Amino acid sequence: MEQQTDTNAAIWKSDTTVATWAAQAAERERNHGAQWRLMAQLLPFSQHESVTFLDLGAGTGAASRAILERHPRSTAILADFSPEMMGAGEAELQAFAGRYRYVEFDLLAGGWPAALPVAVDAVVTSLSVHHLPDERKQSLFAEIFQRLRPGGWYLNYDPVRTDDPVVTATWTRLTDEDDPEAARKRLHRTAHEQARYENHVRFISPLAPQLDWLRSAGFQGVELWWKRLDYVIFGGYRARAL
């Protein structure tokens, strides 16, 4: 099999990509805001608990903002590999100054930096794990499990793939119904938009094996918490010792 050139770093460290990403913040909130808020609701912490959560592949921190808002005594550690995205995130997280910090971490490369704590109360990933090859997804889930305190939760919001062409066609049809501009955007991408799209879809995995990888890593309560077409929220928890 021919090896693909890894374009992920070049795309997400590009000033053009980051500028486009920042300009689309309102659109992302419309499309994904409810899911980020659901992730915050799923984390079983009271508003009086002081908890620390880790947001891997955090980008500009959209998922973290939802959690920080719902859990006022929480602290976020946001990890990303793009200094440009982290810089944009600093501007978007100003309302939570003193309750978060960024750490540079390349999920693909692995090797967790010392700046990340060895134990946290929760880990979340949002629209980032699908950029990783299957082998790395599986090893990352195991690493996340090891970093969770007993009772800690992991939640992932991401697109998934199907190998059924009828299901794929149905997803596309309904997406086009939801967004009248979707078909036009799909058929008339610029070279930069096409590169971003190809980078987005190349490693997307079906749902079922990802749930199995969580179970193999040791997670319990593995569940599909939300699904709409090809986007899902799934996760599980690390059981407390008996």
**pLDDT single digits (tens) 88-108:** 999 999 999 999 999 999 999
Q: Could you tell me which residue, 99 or 200, shows the higher pLDDT?
A: 99
Cβ-based neighbours of 61, under 8 Å, separated by 6 or more? 55, 76, 78, 89, 92, 93, 100
pLDDT for the residue numbered 197? 65
Alpha carbon distance 141, 1 (integer Å): 26
pLDDT average, residue stretch 66-70: 97
116 in a structural domain = yes
pLDDT for the residue numbered 2? 40
30 in a structural domain = yes
pTM to 2 decimal places:
0.86
Range of the domain at 42: 8-237
205 in a structural domain = yes
pLDDT for the residue numbered 188? 78
pLDDT for the residue numbered 185? 80
197 in a structural domain = yes
Residue 230 has pLDDT above 70, yes or no: yes
Residue 14 has pLDDT above 90, yes or no: no
242 in a structural domain = no
Q: How many CB atoms lie within 10 A of CB 207?
A: 17
Is residue 30 within 8 Å of residue 59, measured between CB atoms?
A: no
What is the dihedral sign for C-alpha 127, 232, 157, 144? Answer: negative
The number of domains in the chain is: 1
Question: Residue 44's domain is classified under what CATH number?
Answer: 3.40.50.150
Block residue for tokens 């508003």: 47
Percent share of the chain, pLDDT over 70: 86
Is residue 111 within 8 Å of residue 201, measured between CB atoms?
A: no
What tokens were used for 230?
């090809």
pLDDT for the residue numbered 23? 59
Look at 11-25, 41-55, 138-152, 205-219 and tell me which has the smallest mean pLDDT.
11-25
Q: How confident is the model at residue 183 (pLDDT cuts 50, 70, 90)?
A: confident
Average model confidence (pLDDT) across the chain:
90
65 in a structural domain = yes
Look at 26-35, 115-124, 230-239 and tell me which has the smallest mean pLDDT.
26-35
pLDDT for the residue numbered 1? 35
- Beta strand 148-159 with 120-126 is parallel
pLDDT for the residue numbered 8? 62
pLDDT for the residue numbered 186? 79
2 in a structural domain = no
Cβ-based neighbours of 129, under 8 Å, separated by 6 or more? 56, 57, 107, 137, 140, 156, 158
1 in a structural domain = no
pLDDT for the residue numbered 227? 98
